[in-house]
Amino acid sequence: MGADCIFCKIVAGVIPAAKVFEDKQTIAFLDIGPLAEGHLLLIPRAHYAQITDLPAELSAAMAAVLPRLASAVLAVTGAAGLNILQNNGRAAGQVVDHVHVHLIPRREGDGLGFRWNAGSYAVGRADELTRRLRAVLS
Ligand code: 5GP
Ligand code: ZN
């Protein structure tokens, strides 16, 4: 258990949460500060701060339940769409340092979203990044 980790406390049952799903490795519950009704958080029971810390098997266990959770949220809320969001680090908006996936119901004109300021690559830059990423991933 992470020291003073709010989500570890939810896992341990020390603080309450509106749990909607649990299995051996994961728990899903309502976000206490929803961006829309039905906004869910999916977390691993085990404490890992960021996606880069997560064992691949646990990441797979989380991914495995996402389609069911997404379907349930859409069915119950009647939302027209759904964003799946996972923040890592303060620069990316992470506040709780226990890996979590947001499932956020969306409707046309709901005013949510973030700026999608698409850029472009200077000549040669995409090739360089591709080469460096392949090297790290090989
Ligand atoms: P982050 O910004 O770290 O990606 O998102 C953390 C989320 O956890 C926020 O949306 C916030 O509302 C939610 N949250 C923080 N504390 C609690 C809590 O005690 N219970 C529940 N259910 N959600 C929480
Ligand atoms: Zn934790």
For residue 47, report the distance from its CA to the centre of ligand 2, in Å: 4
User: Which residue's CA is the nearest one to ligand 1's atom 17?
Assistant: 32
Q: In order of start, what are the domains of the chain with their CATH numbers?
A: 6-137 (3.30.428.10)
Identify the band that residue 101 occupies on the pLDDT scale cut at 50, 70 and 90: very high
How does pLDDT run across 53-64, given as a tens digit for each residue?
A: 999 999 999 999
Q: Work out the average pLDDT over 34-49.
A: 98
Q: Which residues are catalytic?
A: 100
Residue 98 has phi, psi (to 5 degrees) of -135, 120
Query: Closest by alpha carbon to 64, among 104, 28, 18, 89?
Result: 28
Q: Is the pLDDT of residue 77 over 90?
A: yes
User: Percent of the chain having pLDDT more than 90?
Assistant: 95
State which ligand 1 atom lies nearest to the alpha carbon of 39.
10
State which ligand 1 atom lies nearest to the alpha carbon of 85.
4
Q: Is the pLDDT of residue 82 over 80?
A: yes
**Mean pLDDT of the residues in the chain:** 97
